[in-house]
């Protein structure tokens, strides 16, 4: 992999792990709001007209995202924005994605782009440029990107360079929350371990020299809270990784299922919650912002308590 | 996975496999032009000014893509557009991506979006909507999308539904062309096979009932031409899959390395070529369009001859 002269961190760069640690401890929250907008599920005031065109839908997504950020920012440390839903609206959607990222960062929140990207080295570098690498005079678009490990170490290298230089992070898929994760991730290797254990060891290796003062690496891992036993195993295999644990709420997991993820510190795991918060208004009939804030506050308390800190 | 009433194919839908087969046989070409634009490598007439802003760069990408399509369309069956390079220019880049796709399709070429997407079912459906699913009154943006298998079968299901309904296709990563592909894909399973063999069997299974009259499935596979032995094994494991074989040219593989991929028919493999064609002008000093056309024509002949058809 080509090394650049400017790949060294600037003296002022604080590592992603340290930034997360400081924010989690200050806000006493490990919750990340998952922004997964769908036209059909939007609050009525935003849905009206959103079917008219792609740009109208994108505008509605941006307004929904801004409203959610305003409502929940006291209770969460960041947002995880699902690229697929914005991409489905083409270039209009990507403009709304950029608006959402900027708005959330201005509100003091971390932004994780949930894109699950992965490609060979020269192309992975373009993804790093797109999301987690600062360019001349501009900040990276987001603080972290989810990535897919199937292409191996040389596909990760450009992200590591970007993380080191820009104080950003990546979350590598390790054991995902869906049922089908068994098809590849749970295949049994010749030494008896599942494939995902080996991926976890690779993640630990990739992130080994990217740890900050709090002992947390810029290279994190996605592990489904829907598999509580895997959460514990992942913690053991990747002691320095910040675990991103989707699956609480609509997918059925509970705060108790993620408790064992926090043994490396209060910020050693983050819990994204999406549908149960952003569409909470459908359950209790309250204003959508009020409903989202109440649900986020409840989850903040419950996860913090479960974490034991 | 939620089934929709309209998931059945329309009576007029021709399967992706049949569309590819007819085009390959008519044009006597198995070449796909890889469009991987980088500002620093653009021809001088396009590079001038492209550094000024993201929208200027995106405009240069669109003009480069259009010129390439005009130049090479007699010699290739399609284009493979690398999303990462367009995404790196944000919403401006995505608009240029859409322009490129539309222009290539109007020139009678297949468009493969090289995005290597993959996510849990509900999100994968948004990716299917974004790329390979037709909506009310509109065609899908592209003819096929590259996808990543790490999340397993339920992450593929929404794409299968879209392919069946819209006559589109997917290419699943199986054994990638880079050196790091060994890290996960070559891990040895308890039965002695590498992980990628099992993925190949899954791909064959996912595509089994999506074969057209030519015996080729809408579910294809990406296999690196840089591993000629793997190409032969992949052919045996996935007899109905259209193999997409990157690695010829800048990555070092030759037409002879892909010969064994074509035993399931002249259209049973496609060969993407990118840097060696789109930047051919840097080698011979000719006009960039003339140089690209000459190199594409040469590769068309060599691969067709190597294929034995």
- Residue of B124, B184, B188 with shortest CB distance to A149: B184
Mean pLDDT of A39-66: 96
Pick from B136, B137, B155: nearest CA to B145:
B155
Render pLDDT for A260-290 as a digit per residue (tens, 0 to 9).
999 999 999 999 999 999 999 999 889 999 9
Q: How many CA atoms lie within 13 A of B49 on its CB side?
A: 9
Whether residue B174 has pLDDT greater than 60: yes
Residues B162/B132, Cβ–Cβ less than 8 Å? yes
Half-sphere CA count of B292, side-chain side, radius 13 A: 28
Contact indicator for B180, A152 with CB cutoff of 8 Å: yes
Which pLDDT band, with edges at 50, 70 and 90, does B10 fall under? low
pLDDT digits (tens, 9 = 90+) for A72-112: 999 999 999 999 999 999 999 999 999 999 999 999 999 99
Residue with tokens 């359950």: A283
Smallest CA–CA distance, residue B142 to chain A, in Å, is 12
The label of the residue with tokens 């549908």 reads: A275
Contact B190, A189 (CB under 8 A): yes
pLDDT band at B2 (very low <50, low <70, confident <90, very high): very low
Nearest to A184 among B150, B178, B183 (CB): B150
For A97, nearest residue in chain B (alpha carbons): B91
Query: How far apart are alpha carbons A211 and A205 in whole angstroms?
Result: 11
- Alpha-carbon distance of B6 to B9, in angstroms, equals 8
pLDDT of residue A10: 55
Question: For residue B1, what pLDDT band results from cuts at 50, 70 and 90?
Answer: very low
Contact residues on chain B for A54, CB-CB shorter than 8 A: none
- The predicted pLDDT at position B162 comes to 97
Tokens 């895997």, residue? A230
A249, A277 contact by CB (below 8 A): yes
- pLDDT tens per residue across span A156-201: 999 999 999 999 999 999 999 999 999 999 999 999 999 999 999 9
Instruction: Tell me the shortest Cα–Cα distance from A114 to chain B, in angstroms.
Output: 9
Q: What is the dihedral of CA B157, B158, B159, B165, to 10 degrees?
A: 110
Q: Do A126 and B82 touch (CB under 8 A)?
A: yes
Interface of A with B in 192-211 (CB under 8 A): 192, 195, 198-199, 202
Q: Inspect the interface and report whether the beta carbons of A180 and B151 lie closer than 8 Å.
A: yes
Find the closest chain A residue to B150 by CA distance.
Answer: A184
Report the relative pairing of strands B31-35 and A269-273 from DSSP bridges: unpaired
Residues in chain A: 309
Instruction: Please report how many Cα atoms fall inside a 13 Å half-sphere around the Cα of residue B290, on the Cβ side.
Output: 5
Interface contact A98, partner B, CB < 8 A: yes
- Is it the case that residue A125 has pLDDT exceeding 90? yes
Q: Is B300 left (phi over 0), alpha (psi -120 to 50) or beta?
A: alpha
Residue A183 sits at the chain B interface (C-beta within 8 Å): yes
B66-125 confidence digits (pLDDT tens): 999 999 999 999 999 999 999 999 999 999 999 999 999 999 999 999 999 999 999 999
Q: What tens digit of pLDDT does each residue of B118-162 get?
A: 999 999 999 999 999 998 778 899 999 999 999 999 999 999 999
A182–B contact, CB cutoff 8 A? yes
A74 touches chain B (CB under 8 A): no
Task: Compute φ and ψ for B244, nearest 5 degrees.
Answer: -110, 120
* Coil, helix or strand at residue A151: coil
Task: Read off φ and ψ for residue A277, nearest 5 degrees.
Answer: -100, -50
Please tell me chain B's helix, strand, coil percentages from 3-state DSSP, rounded to the nearest 5.
Answer: 50, 15, 35
B95–A contact, CB cutoff 8 A: yes
Give whole-number Cα distances, A197 to A200, B175, B187, B243, in Å: 5, 20, 12, 30
Is residue A264 within 8 Å of residue A239, measured between CB atoms?
Answer: yes
Kindly state the tokens that stand for B285: 């000093």
Confidence of residue B249 (pLDDT cuts 50, 70, 90): confident
B6/A contact by beta carbon, under 8 A = no
Which segments of B88-212 does DSSP mark as H helices, in order? 90-106, 121-131, 157-166, 182-185, 195-206
- Average pLDDT score over chain A: 95
User: Which of A117, A127, A150 minimises the CB distance to B150?
Assistant: A150
* Mean per-residue pLDDT of chain B: 95
Nearest CA-CA distance, residue A152 and chain B, Å: 5
pLDDT of residue B284: 81
pLDDT band, very low/low/confident/very high, at B279 (cuts 50, 70, 90):
very high
Q: Between helices B54-72 and B288-307, what is the axis angle to 10°?
A: 50
Q: What is the pLDDT of residues B176-196, one digit of tens each?
A: 999 999 999 999 999 999 999
Alpha-carbon gap: A118 to the closest alpha carbon of chain B (Å):
7
Given this model, what pLDDT does residue B138 score?
Answer: 82
Percent of chain B with pLDDT over 70: 96
Which residue among B84, B117, B148 places its CB closest to the CB of A126?
Answer: B84
Interface contact flag, B94 A91, Cβ < 8 Å: yes
Residue A102 burial (CB count, 10 A): 14
With a CB cutoff of 8 Å and minimum separation 6, the contacts of B108 are B73
* Band (A53; pLDDT cuts 50, 70, 90): very high
What pLDDT score was predicted for residue A284? 81
Return the half-sphere exposure (C-beta side, CA atoms, 13 A cut-off) of residue A218. 27
Count CB neighbours of B44 within 10 A: 8
pLDDT tops 90 at residue B308: yes
Q: Provide the pLDDT for residue B44.
A: 95
CA atoms lying within 13 Å on the CB side of residue A136: 4
Chain centroid to Cα A195, Å, comes to 22
Contact A206, A158 (CB under 8 A): no
The Cα–Cα gap between B118 and A149 comes to 12
- Evaluate if residue A4 carries a pLDDT over 60: no
Which of B118, B133, B132 lies closest to B6 in space, CA to CA?
B133
Annotation marks residue A282 as catalytic: no
CA dist A195 and B199 (Å) reads 12
Across the interface, of B88, B127, B188, the residue whose CB is closest to A84 is B127
**A1 touches B at CB < 8 Å:** no
* Residue A7 predicted with pLDDT over 80: no
pLDDT of residue B241 exceeding 70:
yes
- pLDDT of the residue at B11: 60
pLDDT at site B4: 46
- Number of Cβ within a 10 Å radius of residue B107: 16
pLDDT in tens, B253-271: 999 999 999 999 999 999 9
Q: Summarize pLDDT for A135-145 with one digit per residue, the tens.
A: 877 889 999 99
B149 alpha-carbon distance from chain centroid: 16
Pairing of strands A219-223, A243-244: parallel
Predicted confidence at residue A136, as pLDDT, reads 73
Q: Is B116 on the interface with A (CB under 8 A)?
A: yes
Map residue A52 onto helix, strand or coil.
coil
Residue A250 is predicted with a pLDDT of 83
Q: Do B94 and A94 touch (CB under 8 A)?
A: yes
Instruction: Report pLDDT digits (tens) over B30-61.
Output: 999 999 999 999 999 999 999 999 999 999 99
Is the CB of A173 inside 8 Å of chain B's CB atoms? yes
Residue A2: predicted pLDDT: 40
């Amino acid at each position: 992999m080509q090394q650049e002269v400017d790949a060294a961190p600037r003296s002022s760069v604080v590592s992603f792990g340290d930034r997360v640690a400081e924010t989690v401890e200050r806000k006493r929250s490990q919750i990340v709001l998952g922004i997964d907008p769908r036209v059909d599920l939007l609050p009525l005031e935003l849905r009206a007209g959103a079917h008219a065109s792609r740009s109208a839908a994108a505008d509605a997504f941006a307004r929904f995202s801004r409203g959610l950020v305003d409502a929940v920012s006291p209770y969460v440390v960041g947002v995880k924005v699902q690229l697929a839903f914005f991409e489905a609206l083409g270039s209009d959607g990507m403009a709304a994605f950029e608006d959402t990222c900027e708005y959330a960062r201005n509100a003091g929140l971390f932004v994780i782009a949930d894109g699950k990207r992965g490609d060979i080295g020269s192309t992975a570098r373009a993804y790093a440029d797109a999301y987690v690498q600062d360019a001349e005079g501009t900040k990276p678009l987001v603080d972290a990107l989810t990535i897919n490990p199937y292409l191996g170490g040389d596909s990760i290298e450009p992200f590591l360079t970007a993380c080191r230089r820009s104080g950003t992070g990546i979350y590598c898929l390790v054991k995902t929350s869906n049922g089908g994760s068994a098809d590849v991730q749970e295949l049994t290797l010749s030494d008896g371990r599942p494939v995902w254990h080996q991926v976890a060891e690779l993640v630990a290796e990739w992130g080994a020299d990217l740890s900050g003062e709090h002992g947390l690496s810029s290279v994190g891992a996605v592990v489904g809270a829907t598999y509580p036993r895997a959460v514990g195993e992942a913690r053991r295999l990747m002691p320095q990784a910040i675990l991103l644990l989707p699956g609480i709420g609509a997918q059925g997991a509970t705060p108790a299922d993620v408790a064992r993820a926090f043994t490396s510190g209060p910020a050693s795991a983050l819990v994204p919650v999406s549908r149960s918060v952003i569409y909470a208004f459908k359950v209790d009939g309250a204003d959508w912002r009020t409903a989202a804030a109440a649900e986020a506050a409840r989850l903040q308390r419950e996860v913090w308590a479960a974490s034991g800190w």
